[in-house]
Copies of this chain bind each other. A is one copy, B any other.
Amino acid sequence: MKKTLHEIAAFLNGRVSGDGHVVIEHIRGIDEAGEGDLTFISNAKYLKKIKTTHASAILVPPETEKTDKNLITVRDPYVAFGRMLGLYYPEEHDLPGTSGNAFIEEGASISEEATVYPGVYVGRGARIERRVTLYPGVCVGRHVVIDEDSILYPNVSVYRKCRIGKRVIIHAGVVVGSDGFGFAGPGRENVKIPQVGIVQIDDDVEIGANTTIDRGTIDKTWIQRGAKIDNLVQIAHNVVVGEDSVIVAQVGISGSTKLGKGVILGGQAGLVGHINIGDHVMIGAQSGVHEDLSPNQIVSGSPHMPHQKWLRVQACVSQLPELRKNMALLLKRMEKLERETPND
């Protein structure tokens, strides 16, 4: 694809500074970009690269200092970059239809507008709606519903009765609806508690590769509208992930814990069961959270604490050897003083 900076600026509702007739053929990273490439800066850390990049033009945020490079100023360069990627590299879409090499049980309902690859299994009572794509090796259990425009990448497993909304993207290897980890008398009897609930995934959710979401013991595990979950995340039975929440890779959330809206969990964080996390809470990477958190706060550490406090605490932790040494010296000086002080 070829477009001039003027055309691109119009598409992005941005403003050109420099030569608007320059032609862009590719979108590239700032280090790799060269002649004919558009790149972007969103992180202030990289602003100095404007000088050194070989890109023909750069998407920059408002207030960026002018240079001799061609710039397009946009409100949010990262969003603009995303729109350019969508424009220049549109996804290939397959023709709809169900492969003769898919395994469809009698009593499953599959829209004629769905795309079902070879090697897919769909159980009886399942319903696959319009424009759904099921890649090879996907297993859709009995009585599962997958609503319009959702995509299940290869080797996704959805257990019986789970419900998946519209425009949901589930990456390869994800497991939806496996039994929750419920045993009475753990370590002694390990009596299995049947897991008879479901998983419900609402519209516009995206789930990363090899993530696991257990079914509810009863009722449901619930991923609400717009939540985005990264790879290798563990979501236990009866967890609720609130709307628009963002969960980074390798996080673990224990049973019955509930996240509010717009919660952000850093990578490898762990949450115990049966707690409530308020709206727009941010939890740092590798944190461990063991109690309710009220809305709109940032916590870090394991055990967690307010993020600002955690920064101060960590500064102290790294100075502990000096602190201990000073303590020993102080003790000696104290002993000396005590000897010298007249004792009445």
Contacts and interface: CB of A to CB of B under 8 A. Distances in A.
Interface of A: 27-29, 32, 43, 45, 76, 78-79, 81-82, 85-86, 88-89, 91-92, 99, 101, 103, 117-119, 121, 135-137, 139, 141-142, 153-155, 157, 159-160, 169, 171-173, 175, 178-179, 181-194, 196, 206, 208-210, 212, 214, 217-219, 226, 228, 230-232, 234, 236, 238, 244-246, 248-250, 252, 254, 262-264, 267-268, 270, 272, 274, 280, 282, 285-286, 288, 302-303, 305, 309, 312-321, 323-324, 326-327, 330-331, 333-334, 337-338, 340-344
A194 B85 contact: yes
Given A274-B45, A313-B317, A82 B268 contact: no
B323 A316 contact: yes
A309 B303 contact: no
Contact of A246 (B45, B99, B187, B344): B187
Contact of A85 (B189, B218, B285, B303): B218
A181 B230 contact: yes
A192 B285 CA distance: 22
Given A28-B219, A249-B252, A327-B330, 15 more contacts: A76-B184, A82-B193, A99-B103, A135-B139, A153-B157, A171-B178, A173-B173, A187-B246, A187-B262, A285-B288, A286-B302, A315-B321, A319-B324, A320-B320, A340-B341
A337 to B, nearest CB: 6
A120 B172 CA distance: 15
Contacts of A280: 187
Nearest to A43: B274
Interface of A is mostly: loop
Contacts of A250: 234, 250, 252, 270
A299 to B, nearest CB: 12
Nearest to A104: B118
Contact of A139 (B155, B179, B323, B330): B155
A82 B270 CA distance: 27
Contacts of A172: 139, 157, 159, 175, 178
Contact of A234 (B238, B249, B285, B288): B249
